[in-house]
A and B are shown apart, each in its own frame.
Chain A
Amino acid sequence: MKPTINAIFRPYSSSDALRSDRSAGDRQRHRQKVREAVRENIADLIAEESIIGKNKDRVIKVPIRGVKEYRFIYGENASGVGQGDGNSEKGQVIGKTDGTGQGQGEDKAGDQPGVDYYETDVTLEELIEIMFEDLELPDMERKILREVMSDRISKRKGFRKAGIRIRLDKKRTVKSRIKRRLASTGQDDDQTEERFPFRKEDLVYRHLVEDVRPESNAAVLCIMDTSGSMDTLKKYLARSFFFMLYQFVCTKYRNVEIAFIAHHTEGKEVTEEEFFYKGESGGTFISSGYNKALEVIQARYHPSLWNLYAFHCSDGDNFDSDNPAALKAAQELCELCNLFGYGEIKPLGSRYYESSMLNIFRRLEADNFQTVLIERKEDIWPSFKTFMSKERTPIATETRAAAEQ
């Protein structure tokens, strides 16, 4: 019997496959939207991250609001139907409302349009890149940063006829003697008794040039007031700021170290964990933190080798008697650091009745010093931008330039 339904087969062709990548345009447009959405959410995201996120391949889940497709859908009070293995009982827990632990396949019968748990994966590195795309640092400053030179390692670059003895290239010297002999006598072996001495023009020297590499050392000094008045919210804001500073410095230097200095009435160097999670009680001497920072710099990060970035977060509560000392120490820090900043964290509203260091620091005259006021999460990013605008030529080059003259 011949069937009356007709059928045709179109065989596979791989050239079609290439041509039919028609989703390319739509994918690109979607990708753009994701990036925009990430940029919008960045303030939220950075506040969550741990500072020493050294692993740049770490993947961060970014909930994307901008690219969700909204529809009218039912909310979570809706019940559904499923099937079990024959032993289902009332009260049994079968999953979570957020969809985890749910059985495989469709959780509800039919098509549930639109339920859109959309998250995108962004690596930390990508995130930082997007972050700093936003940061419109003037090109000049960037350039200066990149041209900071250190690591004076020599590297070979060709050969010369003149040079110091130690760089004599024996093999090439012998070769050129042989060449000269061939040219002058027509013999290439040493059989003849006649001496054929080396001459000055046979000598070949290796030529070395200095390999100049971009400066690679930087240290970030996080100084924070951990006195009783610094509550969790304040620390959280400080932490976001430190995170950005650290990540920014990481994009510029190869080797970045970070030091945490906590202070109340005395300064102490601590681990990241202690820094953010351990509360102390009592009063505040800001100068103690600065002096500790100066000590750390003296001991480990000499400014001729390290580019230093110091930032201090406090809520502005300081013993009045300490102010002159704090100012003096701040001045010293400014001299040593590429950038030194003071961030006063005052959750909204509290700035009117609490004392502030902002006025005191106004007396400090240094063009690489910046104070910022952070009142809420949204302030972090603008503050950071202001802060970075003050960066100056790294001290490390200047001192070296001075030494060379």
Chain B
Amino acid sequence: MAEWDVKDLEGWDEKIRVKVQEFGLSCFDQEFEVCDHNQMLGYMAYSGMPSHYPHWSYGKSFEKLKTMYDYGVSGLPYEMVINSDPSIAYLMTDNSFCLQILTIAHVYGHNDFFKNNFTFKSTQAEHTISRFKVHADRVRSYLEDPSIGVEKVEWILDAAHGLSLQCRRNLAIKKLTLREQRERMIEAARPADDPFEDLHQQKDIEAPDLNKLPASPEEDLLLFIRDHNDKLSDWERDLLTIVHETGQYFIPQMETKIMNEGWASYWHREIMNSLDLPQDLYLEFLVRHNQVVRPFPKGLNPYYLGLKVWDDIKRRHDDPTPEEIEKYGRPTKTGTQALFEAREVDRDASFLRRFLTEELMREMDMFEYEPRGEDLVISEVSDKEGWRGIKETLIKNVGMGGVPVIKIEDADYNQNRSLYVKHYHEGRDLQLEYAEKAISYLHRLWGHEVVLETVVNSKRALLSYSDDGFSAKPLK
């Protein structure tokens, strides 16, 4: 720690905060914790949470991170920020002074994003830390309870973890209660108002099945099971709730990875450039910055992609080329306005859809690849014909797009309490080995047979898991 001490950091931090405000960012209060690389690995394994319930998968994640770090496969991230109010960020002791300043600036970018982006509204940042703490305490109490213990808790947690991302993706849309759903069913079944009803032939009104469960396809698998499997005991229900809430908390971060990293990189660059850094620090900053936002050959660096798009938004609004004016019309907002608007109302999918232009894709030489035999082969490049398809594929893959949509259709399939779930197939097949295991988890939690409808090699199929094990059959 020869290079800097906490006093130095506090000095620069104050300058940065002044800049943050001048640029119009609006942040939660910020806490920085200085830690060593072991602590950092520890935080990473537990998603940065100071307190988190125990499970072997976090031990696995720690070992994996540590091995990769020890063998130099991957370094540690310079920073780690938690979406909480106040926001918490970790700074590593081993980092150079310049890197600390850069990290602090970057952290404020994330902090602003967490506070203002609409996807994070549902995360209740002010309760994050205490919620995780309470969860951890509850899980520990079950682990220590002599009538429950590790084995039983793991039995539930293993299964629940496998399903934790099968939940609603857009939390800004209100979830209807069962009563509201039924009211809607009745409403939908009511014949449309017809001023000439005496003239028209009366159609038979088909009564909706109000006892159907779920009333409409249900995406929150864990919650549905919690509420409708009455064989579960209270602690099991509680574990499902905990896992569901944990999964739900991280969804906004997955949904905005590219925007968020791009945003933080954009602002750390602006802030660092405005700070009047001493020359040696400034040169190091340039090197570090370019390392962070460099393109990964054949891969996709979210920092790079995000920053590119943000820069392009700004430029196109402040300084459009004549062709762009012709193509998109004259911008009605200033660049800064456009930036701040997008940071508030977009998520990766909509962000890329709205702002990733053909020109930008060509500039970044984006391509689409697909598996052919054992090789991954470029199937499309960003030329006149190809770019739209590539953009669609990209949008399909970002955020929760990488998680298949699975919904519960019927909780009393075949009138024997079998659970009928459907994979909403849109071109991508499920990985079957994993699907088999995942429905076995559903079966474990539901307690009755589980049937999954999906598409395998363009043919509809039913995979089921019952007490007798796994079976699969084609669906006519």
Asked if chains A and B come from one complex, the reply is yes
B binding-site residues for A, Cβ under 8 Å:
1, 6, 9-10, 13-14, 17-18, 20-21, 27-36, 38-39, 42, 45-46, 54-60, 62-63, 86, 93, 108, 150, 158, 161-163, 165-166, 254, 257-258, 295-302, 305, 348, 364-371, 373-381, 390, 393-394, 397-399, 401-404, 406, 423, 428-435, 437-438, 441
Q: A20, A67, A91: which contacts B42 (Cβ < 8 A)?
A: A20
Residues of the B chain whose Cβ atoms lie less than 8 Å from the Cβ of A232: none
B101 to chain A, nearest CB (A): 13
Which 10 residue pairs spanning A and B have beta carbons closest together?
A103-B298, A26-B59, A70-B437, A3-B17, A105-B296, A103-B299, A30-B59, A27-B59, A75-B431, A110-B398
Cross-chain contact A69 with B162 (CB below 8 angstroms): yes
Determine, out of A9-17, A52-60, A167-175, the stretch whose residues face the partner at the interface: A9-17
Cross-chain contact A76 with B431 (CB below 8 angstroms): yes
Cross-chain contact A6 with B298 (CB below 8 angstroms): no
Q: A14, A16, A79, A110: which contacts B402 (Cβ < 8 A)?
A: A110
Cross-chain contact A110 with B258 (CB below 8 angstroms): yes
How many angstroms from the CA of A23 to the CA of B55 in the assembled complex? 9
As a 0/1 sequence over residues 68 to 103 of chain A, the CB contacts with chain B under 8 angstroms (1 = contact) are: 111111111111111111111111111111100011
Closest to A32 in B: B56
How many angstroms from the CA of A188 to the CA of B58 in the assembled complex? 76
Residues of the A chain whose Cβ atoms lie less than 8 Å from the Cβ of B364: 83
Instruction: Let me know if A197 is at the binding interface, CB within 8 A.
Output: no
Residues of the A chain whose Cβ atoms lie less than 8 Å from the Cβ of B58: 23, 26
Cross-chain contact B399 with A111 (CB below 8 angstroms): yes
A292 to chain B, nearest CB (A): 46
Closest to A110 in B: B398
Scoring A21, A102, A105 by chain B CB atoms within 10 A of each residue's CB, the highest score goes to A105
27 A-B pairs with C-beta separation under 8 A: A3-B21, A5-B27, A5-B29, A5-B108, A12-B1, A12-B35, A16-B35, A26-B45, A26-B59, A29-B56, A30-B56, A71-B165, A75-B429, A75-B432, A76-B371, A79-B371, A81-B393, A82-B300, A93-B377, A94-B376, A96-B374, A102-B376, A109-B305, A110-B254, A110-B302, A113-B165, A113-B254
Residues of the A chain whose Cβ atoms lie less than 8 Å from the Cβ of B433: 70
Q: Give the interface SS of chain A, mostly helix, strand, loop or mixed.
A: loop
Scoring A5, A6, A104 by chain B CB atoms within 10 A of each residue's CB, the highest score goes to A5
Known pairs A4-B21, A109-B398; A98 contacts B434 (CB<8 A): no
Q: B59, B257, B300, B430: which contacts A74 (Cβ < 8 A)?
A: B430
How many angstroms from the CA of A96 to the CA of B108 in the assembled complex? 39
Q: A12, A71, A85, A109: which contacts B300 (Cβ < 8 A)?
A: A109
Closest to A104 in B: B296
Residues of the A chain whose Cβ atoms lie less than 8 Å from the Cβ of B403: 71-73, 113
Cross-chain contact A72 with B21 (CB below 8 angstroms): no
Residues of the A chain whose Cβ atoms lie less than 8 Å from the Cβ of B162: 69-71
How many angstroms from the CA of A111 to the CA of B397 in the assembled complex? 9
Residues of the B chain whose Cβ atoms lie less than 8 Å from the Cβ of A401: none
A10 to chain B, nearest CB (A): 4
Known pairs A17-B39, A84-B365; A98 contacts B374 (CB<8 A): yes
Known pairs A7-B30, A83-B295; A71 contacts B434 (CB<8 A): yes
Cross-chain contact A30 with B63 (CB below 8 angstroms): yes
Cross-chain contact A6 with B29 (CB below 8 angstroms): yes
Cross-chain contact B56 with A14 (CB below 8 angstroms): no
Cross-chain contact A8 with B31 (CB below 8 angstroms): yes
Cross-chain contact A85 with B397 (CB below 8 angstroms): no
How many angstroms from the CA of A388 to the CA of B130 in the assembled complex? 58
Residues of the A chain whose Cβ atoms lie less than 8 Å from the Cβ of B38: 17, 21
Scoring A90, A94, A95, A111 by chain B CB atoms within 10 A of each residue's CB, the highest score goes to A111
Known pairs A25-B54, A92-B378; A111 contacts B428 (CB<8 A): no
Cross-chain contact A92 with B377 (CB below 8 angstroms): yes
Q: B10, B34, B150: which contacts A12 (Cβ < 8 A)?
A: B34
Instruction: Let me know if A28 is at the binding interface, CB within 8 A.
Output: yes
Give chain A's interface residue range (CB within 8 Å of chain B). Answer: 35 or more
Cross-chain contact B301 with A105 (CB below 8 angstroms): yes
Residues of the A chain whose Cβ atoms lie less than 8 Å from the Cβ of B376: 80, 93-97, 102
Known pairs A9-B13, A71-B163, A72-B435; A81 contacts B394 (CB<8 A): yes
Residues of the B chain whose Cβ atoms lie less than 8 Å from the Cβ of A84: 297-298, 365-367, 378
Known pairs A29-B59, A74-B431; A105 contacts B299 (CB<8 A): yes
Cross-chain contact A110 with B374 (CB below 8 angstroms): no
B22 to chain A, nearest CB (A): 8
Known pairs A9-B32, A94-B369, A97-B371; A82 contacts B299 (CB<8 A): yes
Residues of the A chain whose Cβ atoms lie less than 8 Å from the Cβ of B369: 79-82, 94-95
As a 0/1 sequence over residues 100 to 139 of chain A, the CB contacts with chain B under 8 angstroms (1 = contact) are: 0011111111111110001000000000000000000000
A binding-site residues for B, Cβ under 8 Å:
1, 3-12, 14, 16-17, 20-23, 25-33, 67-98, 102-114, 118
Cross-chain contact B55 with A26 (CB below 8 angstroms): yes
Extra contacts besides A21-B42, A75-B428, A90-B379 (19): CB < 8 Å: A4-B21, A5-B21, A7-B31, A11-B6, A12-B34, A26-B60, A30-B56, A70-B434, A72-B404, A74-B431, A75-B429, A75-B431, A81-B393, A82-B299, A83-B366, A84-B365, A88-B378, A95-B298, A109-B300
How many angstroms from the CA of A22 to the CA of B441 in the assembled complex? 28
Cross-chain contact A83 with B45 (CB below 8 angstroms): no
Cross-chain contact A16 with B365 (CB below 8 angstroms): no
How many angstroms from the CA of A112 to the CA of B397 in the assembled complex? 9
Cross-chain contact A81 with B29 (CB below 8 angstroms): no
B407 to chain A, nearest CB (A): 11
How many angstroms from the CA of A74 to the CA of B431 in the assembled complex? 5
Residues of the A chain whose Cβ atoms lie less than 8 Å from the Cβ of B150: 29
Cross-chain contact B381 with A88 (CB below 8 angstroms): yes
How many angstroms from the CA of A84 to the CA of B295 in the assembled complex? 8
Known pairs A88-B367, A103-B299; A75 contacts B430 (CB<8 A): yes
Cross-chain contact A80 with B393 (CB below 8 angstroms): yes
Residues of the A chain whose Cβ atoms lie less than 8 Å from the Cβ of B54: 22, 25-26, 29
B48 to chain A, nearest CB (A): 13
Cross-chain contact B31 with A73 (CB below 8 angstroms): no
Q: B46, B63, B397, B435: which contacts A109 (Cβ < 8 A)?
A: B397
Scoring A26, A70, A82, A109 by chain B CB atoms within 10 A of each residue's CB, the highest score goes to A109
